[in-house]
Structure 1
Amino acid sequence: MTKAQFDDLIHAPARLRICGVLRQVEQMDFAVLRDTLDVSDATLSKHLKTLAEAGYVSLSKAASVSRSDARRLTWITLTRAGRNAFDAHLRALHEIAGIAD
C-alpha cells in the first residue's frame, strides 16, 4: 500500500477528476474522457500535458477501426506512477478529512 502523500499537481480539480476517471479503466479515448468530464479539447489537452510531464499519464495514438479516414484516436492511460500518486493523494485526503481506510 502506498503511503499517504498530498500531491499538489493531482489536487487541481480538473486533474483530480482526470485521474479519478482513468483510475477505473485500463485506458480511455481522448474524446470519451473529454465528454465524460464535460471540458473543452484545449482544457483537457492542457491538463493531460501537465500530467504527462509528471509521468502520471501516457498518451498514444492509434488508428480507429471504425473510421475510414486516416485520423487517429488518442488513448490515455494512467501510468503506474500516476496510479500510485493518485492512491497516495486519496489517502492523504482521507487523513485530512479524518476518514479511516
Structure 2
Amino acid sequence: MTSKAQDVLLADLPHETEEVIGDRGYDSNRIRLSLADRNITACIPPKKNRKSKPPYDWHLYKKRHLIENMFAKLKDWRRVATRYDRCAHTFMSAIQIAASFIFYLKE
C-alpha cells in the first residue's frame, strides 16, 4: 500500500476508533506510529522477517476471522459481489440489506 493510500485510509477512521485489526501486510512503523498518535491500538501481527517484533493482542486478532467470514458471505449476494448499483448510497443500502439477512438467517 502506498503512503498516500495509507494517509487517506487512516485519516478517514472515525474518532471513536479504539483498535485497528490488520494482517501482516499492514505491518509498518509508519502505520503503527500514525495510529499511536491518535491513541488507537494497532493489532497487527509482525511480518516474519521483521527484526524487532512489536507485541499484539493475539486473542483480539483471532476475532478478525468474523469480519473475513462476513465479507465472504456478502460475496454470495450477486448484486453486492458484482456491484450492480452505480450510486454509492444505493450500493451501501444493498450491503446493509444483505448484512441484515445474513445476521438474522444465520446458518
**TM-score of Structure 1 vs Structure 2, range by shorter chain:** 0.3 to 0.5
The higher radius of gyration belongs to 2
TM-score (norm 1): 0.33
Q: Which has the higher contact order (CA 8 A, sep 6+)?
A: 1
TM-score (norm 2): 0.32
Kindly indicate which of the two structures has a greater share of residues assigned to strand: 1
